[in-house]
């Protein structure tokens, strides 16, 4: 099974059929306090970016929904200064990438974007929201799987290896603060197209 098939399986159709809890966009606001805990208790700071990953569908209505999402984020950027751009990765998945020094603005923008997809009937196209952190050159991410309705940590190392110790520590620290994915087979890594890059790069 290739990387593309694995992503589709874990964050896509299989995750949806195996879901034990319905995704709730309000879960995203849990990341507001998680940012504080990550920095105050663990020394991780925000990378100043977050992203929303979704799969596309060939329809005019869906294209309109994406345009609506972009319009919402554009309007929000005038108030918060949150910059955004869209990107299609090498596997054909689409990303809305947000950049802001204020983590609260990142969480709010991700929520607005995902809520619009859901309101327009395209919640099933949402795969993951990704929030990035860094500490002494080490990156760690919290991923929210829309198909599973839960968060899980991802701590990549160069060479496409994972720092399992960091991931398990994050799981332990945030169990109770975030809705953590209990089934570790769904802790799927979102590798960057470039070694050392963010999942959305």
Q: What is the pLDDT of residues 95-153, one digit of tens each?
A: 999 999 999 999 999 999 999 999 999 999 999 999 999 999 899 999 999 999 999 99
For residues 110 and 125, give the distance between their C-alpha atoms in angstroms, rounded to a whole number: 15
pLDDT digits (tens, 9 = 90+) for 7-62: 555 454 554 545 555 678 899 999 999 999 999 999 999 999 999 999 999 999 99
* CATH, residue 145: 3.30.70.1130
pLDDT digits (tens, 9 = 90+) for 69-81: 999 999 988 888 9
Residue 69 lies in a domain: yes
Whole-prediction pTM: 0.89
Spatial CA neighbour of 52 closest among 121, 123, 127: 127
Give the residue from 27, 201, 165 showing the smallest Cα distance to 107: 27
* Parent domain of 118: 3-186
Q: How far is residue 39's CA from residue 50's CA, in Å, rounded to a whole number? A: 16
| Domain-embedded: residue 119 | yes
Whether 198 maps to a domain, the answer reads no
Neighbouring CB atoms inside 10 A of 143's CB total 24
- The answer as to whether 200 is a domain residue is no
Is there a domain that residue 92 lies in? Answer: yes
Give, for 6, the enclosing helix (H) or strand (E).
Answer: helix 3-11
DSSP code for 147? T
């Amino acid at each position: 099974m290739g990387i593309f098939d694995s992503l589709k399986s874990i964050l896509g159709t299989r995750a949806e059929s195996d879901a034990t809890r319905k995704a709730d966009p309000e879960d995203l606001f849990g990341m507001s306090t998680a940012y504080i805990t990550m920095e105050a208790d663990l020394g991780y700071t925000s990378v100043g970016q977050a992203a929303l990953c979704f799969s596309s569908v060939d329809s005019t209505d869906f294209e309109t929904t994406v345009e609506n999402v972009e319009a919402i984020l554009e309007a929000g950027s005038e108030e918060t200064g949150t910059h955004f751009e869209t990107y299609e990765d090498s596997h054909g998945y689409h990303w809305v990438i947000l950049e802001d020094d204020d983590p609260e603005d990142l969480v709010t923008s991700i929520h607005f974007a995902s809520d619009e997809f859901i309101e327009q009937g395209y919640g099933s196209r949402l795969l993951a929201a990704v929030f990035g952190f860094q500490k002494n050159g080490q990156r760690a991410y919290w991923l929210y799987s829309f198909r599973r309705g839960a968060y899980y940590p991802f701590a990549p190392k160069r060479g496409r290896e994972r720092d399992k110790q960091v991931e398990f520590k994050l799981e332990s620290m945030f169990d109770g603060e975030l809705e953590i994915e209990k089934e570790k087979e769904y802790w799927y890594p979102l590798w960057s197209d470039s070694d050392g890059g963010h999942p959305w790069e």
